[in-house]
Amino acid sequence: MHASLVVSGLNKVYEGSGRRVEAVRDLTFTVEAGELVCLVGPSGCGKTTLLKCMGGLLTPTAGEVRLNDRPVRPPGMAFVFQEYGRSLFPWMRVRENVELPLKQKPLSKVRRRELVTDALESVGLTDAAGAYPWQLSGGMQQRVAIARALAYEPDVLLMDEPFAAVDAQTRADLEDLVRGLWRERGITILFVTHDIDEAVYLGERVLILSASPTVVQEQLKVDLPDERDQLHTRVAPRFAELRTHVYEQIQAAKRGGTDTGPPEKTLT
């Protein structure tokens, strides 16, 4: 398999107004093409900083991000942020919001329309194409944001706690939407969350980050079946074991240790 996304020795220090914050100390990991990887870590540990460095929105202090063996350039990635309300333009219809980033690409008008129609269909919003974002529920607005990212056909989709602000039922639906899209389209997804259950439910792999200054505390393979559903997966014994393990690692991370724990806690 070709390594798609390689982060090596990434360090980010924020400097300004006499303050110096080392947000990310040293992050090294790889995301393979077509993988769905979840990143989980305590609040303030530098998850957003990392994604911004990966997407080219911030320049790392040291280290680098390579995509298909080349330094990353902004158009390779698409973002879905938590604040969907602020990421959509209220004066544009749903269709126009999804189409907007495509205008930066050398595409014909016909092709653009095709991509928009296809993306809206994928997220179940065909009927809402002519609506304005403010006419839609929070969950639907987040679907628009996902459609916009999909239509762009990025090499990697970066999602930063995208469902943190929606209610539990909507969140479950959106999680299944992401898994469905990933399986249908074979896209590479890096999904950041502070929610352990969400990370285990969604990911093929979970990267556990330490508290800031951040390093990768552990990489855990999620050996649950590919067919997952909210009802059965979340009550499976293996799901409980995995989430407990991640929870313990995050608690250890918060204490600031690289606590490997007693051997019986270590999953094989």
- Binding residues for Mg ion, rule: CB under 5 A, are 47-48
Q: Which does 162 bind (CB under 5 to 8 A by kind): ligand ADP, Mg ion, none?
A: none
Contact segment (CB under 6 A) with ligand ADP among 40-48, 59-67, 100-108, 183-191 equals 40-48
Spatial separation of the C-alpha atoms in residues 209 and 39, rounded to whole Å: 7
Dihedral over alpha carbons 228, 2, 155, 27 (to 10 degrees): 80
Taking CB atoms, the residue at the shortest distance from Mg ion is 48
Closest to 211 (Cα-Cα) out of 242, 252, 248, 245: 252
**Smaller CB separation from ligand ADP, 36 or 39:** 39
CB of 28 to Mg ion, least distance (A): 20
**Interaction between residue 13 and ligand ADP (CB under 6 A):** no
**Interaction between residue 11 and ligand ADP (CB under 6 A):** no
Q: What backbone torsions phi and psi does residue 152 show, to the nearest 5 degrees?
A: -70, -15
**Smaller CB separation from ligand ADP, 123 or 250:** 250
One of 13, 21, 164, 215 touching ligand ADP (CB under 6 A)? 21
**Smaller CB separation from ligand ADP, 99 or 198:** 198
Q: Where are the beta strands (DSSP E) in 62-194?
A: 62-67, 70-71, 77-80, 156-160, 188-193
Q: What is the dihedral sign for C-alpha 68, 72, 74, 80?
A: positive
Spatial separation of the C-alpha atoms in residues 265 and 268, rounded to whole Å: 9
**Interaction between residue 47 and ligand ADP (CB under 6 A):** yes
One of 23, 120, 181, 189 touching ligand ADP (CB under 6 A)? 23
Site string for ligand ADP, 189-208 (x = CB under 6 A): --------------------
**Interaction between residue 54 and ligand ADP (CB under 6 A):** no
**Smaller CB separation from ligand ADP, 45 or 151:** 45
Q: Which does 4 bind (CB under 5 to 8 A by kind): ligand ADP, Mg ion, none?
A: none
Beta bridge pairs of residue 190: 37, 158
The alpha helices in 206-256, defined as continuous H runs, are 230-233, 237-254
One of 141, 212, 217, 249 touching ligand ADP (CB under 6 A)? 212
CB of 209 to ligand ADP, least distance (A): 8
Q: How many CB atoms lie within 10 A of CB 162?
A: 25
**Interaction between residue 256 and ligand ADP (CB under 6 A):** no
259's enclosing H/E stretch is none
Closest to 190 (Cα-Cα) out of 225, 153, 162: 162
Beta bridge pairs of residue 206: 38, 220
Q: Applying CB under 6 A, which residues contact ligand ADP?
A: 14, 21, 23, 43-49, 212
